[in-house]
A and B are shown apart, each in its own frame.
Chain A
């Protein structure tokens, strides 16, 4: 095989530093020793697996985008909500947008639409869910709530991040009202928030620590089962702006959402003002089986009966481990194995998946027929669509 000799030489040259990345080097810095001790004290045995909730639902989405030969981009976004007892609700959104030049805008637009459709599908169906149900959404909740607090650089769609935030606020309220447990489960996370919280406890105020949570868990807990002390996330990701959002939403909008349509300004101010008073998010990592990768779990505090808002928590605080016992029991019961980190999320992931063939044969043909125009991809898309 070409380049294999060069590959081996390159690894050989940098072997020691690469091995250190894996923690194979036994030498630990002082900070690492502290983190190891902290992790021990914030590591808890898993409760016995048990189906705690009346019904269990899972939500996931998939998407595809293609650029047409006239420069227009189209987006197919679909979501599926599955439940025990063959509950199956689909939702699809299709958008055609012109004028996108930056590839990052395409991915950002697609990402928000996917986050949004997952929230909307639960909102659409929440009235049907029995009390004491659990809804598992693929991915974390805190991130999608706090990461996109500025406009999308796309004409006509600048307001889209606020649509997502608005939907999330409504979903949190609806879940409380319907007594439904909402849980975000990430099969992998690169967050550093537990590391930061542990260092903060020991007096290290490290805003941007070097170590990811998953790295610590891999080094010291990989062969064990258990979960980390639940951490309540408040202002952590939006610390600097919380007061502005609450005290001067219009000023925040002008700074970060200046290009939105004037007719939406009032609505936008309301959404921005609501962010600080949205529920804080409880998050923890869990390893359901020795050797398995850790999962990140996010739960709105209100779903656990904790009345703490984003602005009440500066920027995070550890909770009692038993706060999340029921969710941990359920997720442990749902664990299948290395690939099936959660049975229902695994199924919904497979069922909602949008294949290249489906997009480039079925959806493309239907689109052409419905619009009555030939649909042709740009050259670079065609390379992949074959």
Chain B
């Protein structure tokens, strides 16, 4: 093994960390991996030499001379005459060693001061972090080593997975990358997509077709205006609508935003629905409510409630979702099928209903033994669909089924991939069931605390590293890798729906439109409008 020396172990060493001294030229960067060969590990009554892997988590450059107590003038007088020696030392945490079976074991013996420390070779790192690089799901490379690929263990998805990061850290890119590599393995995936983040996955970045294009179906309600990507841009979409007449009274009230505390109004809706038969929609329900309200035989309290209900139901007239084209459940659970249910542009209550309904349907199949293959459900913006008690928002209709799947789903072959930027706002019953977590840059202290509470595999060091991660960098903890791994996420081939907009370009467009409008309008009109407004 041709190793590059990084320095020597010094000072106090224990089985979890050590300090090493190097020089400024050859000092390894933070997060770099190191090895100490020949650490004497106890084995029964004897010893055996093992190669211990460690990661640099702190680097300190210091000078005895250029201290912080000096003034600028004093510093300059020294610097102009003498190159003060910089001393360098680092601290590294021990990650373990590989036993004969390729398992990662934490050593029970410590290295000895004076032992040489080397930069870890790439082949060792690959064996250390990835169970089987050929059958794994590639998600990028180690943060410090572009040449060391990291692949997730597909069996790691046997537990629910949470992908957590603040906005702009690269969550959707990562999830898309996982999906495009999970799908060819035969996976059935349903993506509940509130922001059209995954609708472009049939396209490559340059507009061509991806290898998964034929196995991906985008479902979206027809007739919605102002979408980020047209049906044509996403490579075609299957329409889906909701058959209003299949909704029960509770569901209608939830979708219409009638609070569960307003029992009389909800009762009036139930009474009105009882009068309707066959196929109907919101207009028919309004008519039924009005009939109740105007009927002299109705008592005054109920009449008033029925009239109030019409106000809420009337709002549903504007929703472009009613129809009779349900998403075909049989299609959703087909093997090697990625179904993206585009929820963008829909009212929150409606989205919640669709999430609830979809999950209920799949759950129904699962518990009756009708689910032939495992189903992975990607729940984007999960904090909105499964809010925690402290989230400051009402718990929507979808919370119950999500918590249920989180608790019991894996026994029936339903696995959640929970994606959120506000772990503090998500139900702890859901987050705590996610035994594997992929965490990207996170700086909000409340969100960090929530991650800390829910993640057993996140050590103090890794937790402290979260704010220091760059865009596209992630820490994988749990069963997806052998040990917690810091990854630079790369290699996605499909297009991104959730990428940031080019704001500079958009503003240029806005300015152009403004100037054009100004040219076309006489000046006095401008004045007039200004005066009128103010």
Chain A positions within 8 Å of B84 at CB level: 347
Interface string of B82-113 (1 = CB under 8 A from A): 11110000000000000000000000000000
Q: How far apart sit A353 and B67, CA to CA, in the bound complex (Å)?
A: 15
Chain B positions within 8 Å of A339 at CB level: 69-70, 74
Selected contact of A350 from candidates B64, B75, B80, B83, CB within 8 Å: B64
How distant is B292 from chain A, measured CB to nearest CB, in Å?
84
Interface hits, A331-352 → B, CB 8 Å: 334-340, 343-344, 346-347, 350-351
Q: How far apart sit A219 and B337, CA to CA, in the bound complex (Å)?
A: 92
Selected contact of A84 from candidates B64, B65, B69, B82, CB within 8 Å: B82
Any chain A CB within 8 A of the CB of B261? no
Any chain A CB within 8 A of the CB of B81? yes
Selected contact of A334 from candidates B64, B70, B71, B81, CB within 8 Å: B81
Q: How far apart sit A350 and B75, CA to CA, in the bound complex (Å)?
A: 14
How distant is B253 from chain A, measured CB to nearest CB, in Å?
72
Any chain A CB within 8 A of the CB of B456? no
Chain A positions within 8 Å of B77 at CB level: 334-337, 340, 343
Any chain B CB within 8 A of the CB of A168? no
Q: CB distance B65 to A337 under 8 Å?
A: no
Interface string of A56-92 (1 = CB under 8 A from B): 1000000000000000000000000010101000000
Q: How far apart sit A21 and B75, CA to CA, in the bound complex (Å)?
A: 34
Chain B positions within 8 Å of A353 at CB level: 64
Any chain A CB within 8 A of the CB of B511? no
How distant is A187 from chain B, measured CB to nearest CB, in Å?
14
How distant is B85 from chain A, measured CB to nearest CB, in Å?
8
Chain A positions within 8 Å of B74 at CB level: 336-340, 346
How distant is B9 from chain A, measured CB to nearest CB, in Å?
16
Any chain A CB within 8 A of the CB of B233? no
Q: How far apart sit A343 and B64, CA to CA, in the bound complex (Å)?
A: 14
Any chain A CB within 8 A of the CB of B23? no
Q: How far apart sit A91 and B77, CA to CA, in the bound complex (Å)?
A: 26
Any chain A CB within 8 A of the CB of B461? no
Complex: chain B residue closest to A348, CB-CB: B82
How distant is A82 from chain B, measured CB to nearest CB, in Å?
7
How distant is B496 from chain A, measured CB to nearest CB, in Å?
52
Any chain A CB within 8 A of the CB of B78? yes
How distant is A289 from chain B, measured CB to nearest CB, in Å?
9
Q: How far apart sit A165 and B82, CA to CA, in the bound complex (Å)?
A: 31
Selected contact of B78 from candidates A56, A338, A347, CB within 8 Å: A347
Q: How far apart sit A337 and B80, CA to CA, in the bound complex (Å)?
A: 14
How distant is A216 from chain B, measured CB to nearest CB, in Å?
27
How distant is B69 from chain A, measured CB to nearest CB, in Å?
7
How distant is A374 from chain B, measured CB to nearest CB, in Å?
20
Q: How far apart sit A42 and B73, CA to CA, in the bound complex (Å)?
A: 29
How distant is A4 from chain B, measured CB to nearest CB, in Å?
27
Q: CB distance A336 to B65 under 8 Å?
A: no
Any chain A CB within 8 A of the CB of B76? yes
How distant is A115 from chain B, measured CB to nearest CB, in Å?
24
Q: How far apart sit A339 and B67, CA to CA, in the bound complex (Å)?
A: 11
Chain B positions within 8 Å of A343 at CB level: 77-78, 80-82
Q: CB distance A86 to B83 under 8 Å?
A: yes
Q: How far apart sit A53 and B342, CA to CA, in the bound complex (Å)?
A: 78
Chain B: residues with Cβ within 8 Å of the partner, total of: 17
Q: How far apart sit A346 and B84, CA to CA, in the bound complex (Å)?
A: 11
Chain B positions within 8 Å of A335 at CB level: 77
Given contacts A336-B73, A337-B73, contact A351 B64 (CB under 8 A): yes
Chain A positions within 8 Å of B78 at CB level: 336, 340, 343, 346-347
How distant is A375 from chain B, measured CB to nearest CB, in Å?
19
Q: Which of B64, B74, B84 has the most CB of A within 10 A?
A: B74
Chain A positions within 8 Å of B64 at CB level: 350-351, 353
Complex: chain A residue closest to B65, CB-CB: A350
Selected contact of A347 from candidates B65, B69, B76, CB within 8 Å: B65
Q: Which of B70, B71, B73, B77 has the most CB of A within 10 A?
A: B77
Q: How far apart sit A340 and B84, CA to CA, in the bound complex (Å)?
A: 14
Complex: chain B residue closest to A355, CB-CB: B64
Q: CB distance A346 to B65 under 8 Å?
A: yes
Interface string of A108-127 (1 = CB under 8 A from B): 00000000000000000000
How distant is A262 from chain B, measured CB to nearest CB, in Å?
47
Q: How far apart sit A336 and B84, CA to CA, in the bound complex (Å)?
A: 15
Interface hits, B126-144 → A, CB 8 Å: none
Q: CB distance A338 to B71 under 8 Å?
A: yes
Complex: chain B residue closest to A342, CB-CB: B77
Q: Which of A56, A343, A346, A351 has the most CB of B within 10 A?
A: A343
Chain A positions within 8 Å of B83 at CB level: 86
Chain A positions within 8 Å of B76 at CB level: 336
Q: CB distance A344 to B81 under 8 Å?
A: yes
Chain B positions within 8 Å of A336 at CB level: 70-71, 73-78
Q: How far apart sit A336 and B75, CA to CA, in the bound complex (Å)?
A: 7
Q: CB distance B82 to A82 under 8 Å?
A: yes
How distant is B329 from chain A, measured CB to nearest CB, in Å?
73
Complex: chain B residue closest to A343, CB-CB: B77
How distant is A108 from chain B, measured CB to nearest CB, in Å?
29
Q: CB distance A56 to B73 under 8 Å?
A: no
Chain A positions within 8 Å of B70 at CB level: 336-337, 339-340
Chain A positions within 8 Å of B85 at CB level: 351
Q: How far apart sit A335 and B80, CA to CA, in the bound complex (Å)?
A: 11
Complex: chain B residue closest to A340, CB-CB: B74
Q: CB distance B82 to A337 under 8 Å?
A: no
Q: How far apart sit A340 and B83, CA to CA, in the bound complex (Å)?
A: 15
Interface string of A341-381 (1 = CB under 8 A from B): 00110110011010000000000000000000000000000
What are some 21 contacts across the A-B interface (CB < 8 A)? A56-B81, A84-B81, A84-B82, A86-B83, A336-B74, A336-B75, A336-B77, A337-B70, A338-B71, A339-B69, A340-B78, A343-B77, A343-B80, A346-B65, A346-B74, A346-B78, A347-B78, A347-B82, A350-B64, A351-B65, A353-B64
The 4 closest A-B pairs by CB, nearest first: A336-B77, A336-B74, A337-B74, A340-B74
Beyond the given pairs A86-B83, A344-B82, A347-B65, 11 more chain A to chain B contacts, judged by CB atoms under 8 angstroms and listed by A's residue number, are A86-B82, A336-B70, A336-B73, A336-B75, A336-B76, A336-B77, A337-B70, A343-B80, A346-B78, A351-B85, A353-B64
Q: Interface on A for B, CB 8 Å cutoff? A: 56, 82, 84, 86, 334-340, 343-344, 346-347, 350-351, 353
